[in-house]
Structure 1
Amino acid sequence: MLMSYSFWLIAVVLGVGACYKLPAIVRVGGNPLARQVGGLLILATAVFFFAAPTVIAKMNDLTGIVNFSAPWVYSLITLFSASCLLLIIKWRGGDEVSIRRATWWVYGSYGTLVLGLWLCFSMGDHHVERVRDLDTFYATTPWMREMILLYLAAQTSAALVTSALLWSWERTVRRTGWLHTGVVLLTVGYALNIVFNALKLTAVIARWNGHNLDYLSTNVAPLIAFLVGLLISLGFVVPHTGNRVSQYVAARREYQALAPLARTLQHVPTASAPVFLGRTAPLRLRLTHRRTFVRDALRHLYPFMNTELHEKTVQGLIAEGKKPHRAQALADAAAISAAVERIHAGGSPVPGQPHIDLSNPVVISRALRRLPSLHAVRRTSSTESLTS
């Protein structure tokens, strides 16, 4: 039962990844590569769900055919292997003729293998139900032996090709963040898949030679299969989920970083009508609104900023030991604060002043909140600005 729970856990993780790709699968005219990944995840989910010993026994009972689950699960594994190869073909790219030829070769060869699995099963003697050790129990049984070898050969060849391509691809995606993490997980997962097949094949060959290494297939291989499923599922899920989380965290940080500047500008008139968004509104929508509001308010403030005073403030702060970029941000914040106070006091625009570069509002907003010397600078610049 523990093995069933382990396999179901992997199926759930893979299913989550498939749900992420579901829109790409059903979308007409969508990205073919995304559809290929989605199809692969669906097949992988099915493999781990139906390979659970509890489900194997239930399938045999429902169909009334002893060991019916064997060719069914082997067929799913073979189709999953074919899906891996098709994904590799899409990733590798090339001219349309070569891609189409390789795709049809995979369809033809692996489709034939699936038919061969069912043909061997129908011709073999499989009257004794085996839920966990069918591979070794029937390793010397005519036709059942061939069925086992067919699925192992299909899975091993696909795992070898996929591992080789992922290994070569890993070098090209270094320093790409979550994508590189996903490729590394997939590389290790498919490499362990080769180990899984080697263990199964070793146990089968041992039976051919009169030895008993069944524990490799019955006890060790399922543990490797669990790791394979976990790594492959994470390899597909982590890049997508990681990017989503990173984007959310970055948006949250920017939204919070802009808060001091937005509060400073909240009473500055803008060209657009004010829009009030509650905390329940999507973060991306609130961030877009805050960016737009800050940009429009700063555009309205430009005529009220004293460029000459701004430059003097920058030089004064540098003379006090501030680094140039910090002095610039502090002076920008002081100029904005002074311009806001000038508007509130009913002051007129400063004539003949070039616009101050305020292209990094996040840095300016952080200066408003974090730099302790800003208040003194703001008071000085405000007084001089109002009297200029």
Structure 2
Amino acid sequence: MNGEDYYIPAAAMAISLAFKLPALRHNWRDPLLRSVVALLTLAGAVFTFAAPPTIAAVNRWTGVVNFSAPLVYCLLTAFSASCLVLMVNWRGGPPERTLRISQRWIIGYFAVIVALVVLFALGETPVERLRDFDTYYANTPYISAMIALYLLAHHVAAVVMVVLCWRWSMQVRGWLRIGLMIIVAGYIFNLAYDATKMSAVTARWFGHNLDDLSTYVAPPLAAVGALVSAMGFVVPLVCQRLSDHWQTWATYRRLGTLWQEVQISAPSGTPSVQMAWWTAGELRVIQRESDIHDGFLHLGPYFDKALRDGAYESAVAEGADPETARAVADAAMVAAAVRARSADPEGKTIGDEVETLLDTADGPRDLLRISHALRHSPVVQAVRQRVAV
């Protein structure tokens, strides 16, 4: 792999990080968000500092031959810890337990990082190696232990992530399950990276040469694994947000029938609220619900409870469940009240004991049922025809 093959994944991580930083600035106390930012930062740093051009530059700037080796190993170890901490925070649970488990992983991998630095300081690496450091120094005292330790730490994190994500994916559904399965696929590539690295290093220990596995096969596996894993962390968050937006706009659209029905009840001269095209869907839904409830207020004097009870019985007789029958009855009462209001230009005065719609305690869900019934219920259509006659 050349420098571009490392810098492209690093750039992808940087772009993802740029999208997360504004959210972190507004909610920096969120441990899950901090974990995501830490993971993306460390993943980008690993690819940046593992690129051969960066390795040569760091060695030259520090004046220490092969200084980049322990630096990359430490970053990779910290990245492994960040993945485990992110998974712990993502899974959730009691805050004390989550914090305790996260601290254990952080302390354990911090000890590994300290050991890597100490082992490098004790060993000798006089020849600069930009691509094959692992196999070239596989039999060097202390350095061989450093190489084995970072590979073991990375392998443990990969195995734990695969097991945790697989078990969790069997307990959830939707976008979260898809994201977890993507993470599992990414860490399978990481396990393949560990296998190729360990095979090449072990071959050196026994006097054989499988250096190509470490030099040419392992790096692409690491790049693919990191990108796929990062996608698995991001997909559930992004797709869930898109799904929420879609649901909001669907709610706004489905409330349209009821909203248009009660508009006639607004007093003449009432100004209509105009929203800019960029207004958030949530605000539009709130405004539409407010308009509907205002309409109910003005239709109150025309609500006929007897008609509502009759429509409820008709809906039940046609096989509707109680919840649907209540929505059909409310819709029929609203439709009849709108016709009565249209036939009364003077309008009745709204008193203190206005008969209002009783079944809207659950908010938008009941209003959606009423709006749907206004458009599709035969009982409501029959009431409209009867009132018109």
Structure 1, unmatched stretches of 5+, are 384-388
Identify the match of residue 211 of structure 2 among 198, 208, 214: 214
- Report what 1:281 is aligned to: 279
- Bigger mean CA offset, 279-288 vs 67-76: 67-76
Contact 1:258 1:365 in 2 (8 A): yes
- Report what 1:260 is aligned to: 257
Q: By how many angstroms is 1:68 displaced?
A: 4.4
Q: Deviations over 1:78-136 (max 9, x none)?
A: 22123334446666765699559736733651341342365257x31223x43x33322
Could you say what secondary structure the match of 1:265 adopts? helix
Say whether 1:303 aligns with 2:301: yes
Identify the match of residue 244 of structure 1 among 241, 249, 272: 241
Distance 1:63 1:101 in 2: 32
Q: By how many angstroms is 1:49 displaced?
A: 3.3
Q: Deviations over 1:20-71 (max 9, x none)?
A: 5435644577123432332122111221333344544555566676544333
Identify the match of residue 367 of structure 1 among 366, 370, 373: 373
Distance 2:287 2:112 in 1: 53
Say whether 1:195 aligns with 2:196: no
Total equivalences in the alignment: 375
Identify the match of residue 289 of structure 2 among 264, 285, 291: 291
- Report what 2:384 is aligned to: 378
* Residues 1-388 of structure 1 mapped to structure 2, 5 A cutoff: 4-19=3-18, 21-23=20-22, 25-26=24-25, 30-53=29-52, 55-56=54-55, 59=58, 67-87=66-86, 102=104, 105-106=107-108, 108-116=110-118, 118-119=120-121, 123-127=124-128, 129-130=129-130, 132-171=131-170, 173-175=171-173, 177-269=174-266, 274-316=272-314, 323=320, 329-346=327-344, 348=348, 355-359=356-360, 360-370=366-376, 375=381, 377-383=383-389
Q: By how many angstroms is 1:215 displaced?
A: 3.0
- Bigger mean CA offset, 184-193 vs 241-250: 184-193
TM-score by length of 2: 0.79
Could you say what secondary structure the match of 2:310 adopts? helix
Structure 2, unmatched stretches of 5+, are 361-365
Q: By how many angstroms is 1:162 displaced?
A: 3.6
The 1:6/1:329 distance shift into structure 2, 3 A limit, reads: farther
- Report what 2:363 is aligned to: none
Contact 2:119 2:142 in 1 (8 A): no
Distance 1:310 1:264 in 2: 17
AA at the equivalent of 2:136: F
Q: By how many angstroms is 1:241 displaced?
A: 0.8
Contact 1:304 1:349 in 2 (8 A): no
Contact 1:203 1:216 in 2 (8 A): yes
- Bigger mean CA offset, 48-57 vs 290-299: 48-57
Q: By how many angstroms is 1:356 displaced?
A: 4.4
Contact 2:24 2:33 in 1 (8 A): yes
Contact 2:256 2:371 in 1 (8 A): yes
Contact 1:17 1:236 in 2 (8 A): no
- Report what 1:386 is aligned to: none
Contact 1:335 1:381 in 2 (8 A): no
Q: By how many angstroms is 1:380 displaced?
A: 1.7
Q: By how many angstroms is 1:334 displaced?
A: 3.5
Distance 1:185 1:357 in 2: 47
Seq. identity, %: 36
Contact 1:125 1:141 in 2 (8 A): no
Distance 1:362 1:274 in 2: 22
Distance 1:269 1:350 in 2: 13
Q: Deviations over 1:272-330 (max 9, x none)?
A: 985321222122211221122222322432331112223334445666x5745666545
AA at the equivalent of 2:292: V
Could you say what secondary structure the match of 1:216 adopts? helix
- Bigger mean CA offset, 85-94 vs 102-111: 85-94
Contact 1:304 1:350 in 2 (8 A): no
Contact 1:136 1:217 in 2 (8 A): yes
Distance 2:290 2:356 in 1: 19
The 1:71/1:235 distance shift into structure 2, 3 A limit, reads: same
AA at the equivalent of 1:82: A
Distance 1:110 1:268 in 2: 72
AA at the equivalent of 1:302: G
Q: By how many angstroms is 1:184 displaced?
A: 2.9
